[in-house]
Amino acid sequence: MLEKILIGAAAIGLLVLLAWFLRKWLNWGAHEIACPHFHDHVHNAAPSRFVRDIQRDANVDHDDHQHADPLGDELEKLVEDCALHRHDADGIKLARDESKPERAHGDKVLMLSGGGQWGAYGAGLFRTLHDASDNDLAMEGVRIITGISTGSLQTLLLMVALDEQARPETRRYAMDRLEWGYSPTAESEIVQNTGLAMLPFRGAQAGTKPLRKRIRNALMENGDATLIDAIRNSSIAGYIGFVEANCGLFHYVDVRGLARAANSNDEAVDALSAATMASSAMPVFHQQLRVTGSKKGARSLYDGGVRRSVFFERSMERMHDSVCKHAGRPEDNHPAGKDRAAVTPAFFVVRNGPTVRTSDPDLDGKDGPILNGKRGYDLLVNESEVGAIAGLRLLNPYGDIHLTTADQWDSFECTCPDADCAKESEMFKPGFMACLRDLGRHKAQRAGGPWWSLSPIDER
């Protein structure tokens, strides 16, 4: 009997040892990128006054006045510009154009959500708007772009493709690289997907070494630094959001600052790759990103989508205060709404994904941890995305907010020969991404266009 117990204990010990060995041998660990100047261009995305109220008794530093906020600075500048050229003789805001708001006069802010492979929707949308324009410009008047996760890669390329001061051929090239980035021929070109079953050993579902290579190829194809120089010199301010793993705080990085402070084009690509990969490093699903070499030491960074899909909060409050400075506050019995809307830049939000989840009857008969975990993740992320966009209206109660989403992906008539609109287990399925690009084309060309407006706040 004792012999059987000893044999059993030895067998268990061997299994534990084997599991430990496999964990050490197979684990990717964090993907590390050395970038000494990275954190010099990282800024605290301070929460709104509502969040500060909620966190009143928490040990949190909310003295946001001691922190630089370039996004807030840029938003205040846009309000100043709108105040100088705010309306025509009839008091109508110049940026308002219901039929083609992306072509209207006036300053604009473009906010790009996360979504992984769903970013192909945004790529198809902007490609179509670009091709339909007569000046190789998908949108006019864009002054600020913010991006999270897949939206962070879009930010880098749209800072060039939408830059009115860039040469037309440079804008066309940036749009070509954006489309290329979302047109893989195999999932392995973007991630090394070993499946959730390998999570205990790998630490994540997918390795991101291929993603780093693809970002480099998108930005500096065959060593061509055209896009890197264009990002440095862009007239559009670009910001990418992510979360620091150790403290859980949301931060954003200044794209132009990263590129300009690099000592070489290779360093610039590494810095921009670090920002994009940090913003895309969704815990559990993607290998984590760690920036090394800075005076703050090695920092592990998470996908900004774990906190919010579009980011603004305190920066938007600063914009709102500037709007009221120029057009009066409601409590001062100032004429409601119209004048404040006239000095507020137009916002455009691209939800790179759907806003509802399709039904999954399998959940009624199965209770596996992977199936339930994925469903819970989907529902949480969807609510976070939708809630963040709704929150934008609360902090920007007067200005125009235009939205487009990848809803109807499963019902529109796809005409792309390479498309496969069945969403399956691949993280980056080439056929599904072709379907999403075609959805972007479809919405850009449909009657009424791709954008619709968020309702104003009822002032009663």
Residues identified as active-site? 149, 303
Region for residue 293 given its phi and psi (left: phi exceeds 0; alpha: psi -120 to 50; beta: otherwise): left
Alpha-carbon distance of 417 to 203, in angstroms, equals 37
Cα(131)–Cα(170) distance, rounded to whole angstroms? 14
Q: Which of these, 44, 106, 48, 107, lies nearest to 318 by C-alpha position? A: 48
DSSP codes joined into one string, 22-66: HHHHH---PEEEE-TTGGGGEEE-PPPHHHHHHTTTS-----GGG
The strand pair at 237-244 and 142-148 is best described as parallel
| Among candidate residues 135, 101, 138, 121, the one with its CA nearest the CA of residue 347 | 101
Ramachandran angles phi, psi of 239, nearest 5° = -135, 135
Which residue, chain included where needed, has tokens 């972007």?
Answer: 440
Q: Are 18 and 194 in contact (CB under 8 A)?
A: no
Q: For the CA atoms of 195, 196, 198, 202, what is the dihedral angle to 10 degrees?
A: 100
Q: Which of 132, 212, 219 is nearest to 178 (CA)?
A: 219
CA-wise closest residue to 193 among 286, 67, 131, 283: 286
Q: What share of the chain is helix, strand, coil (3-state, %, to 5)?
A: 50, 15, 40
Closest CA to 226 of 169, 182, 274, 164: 169
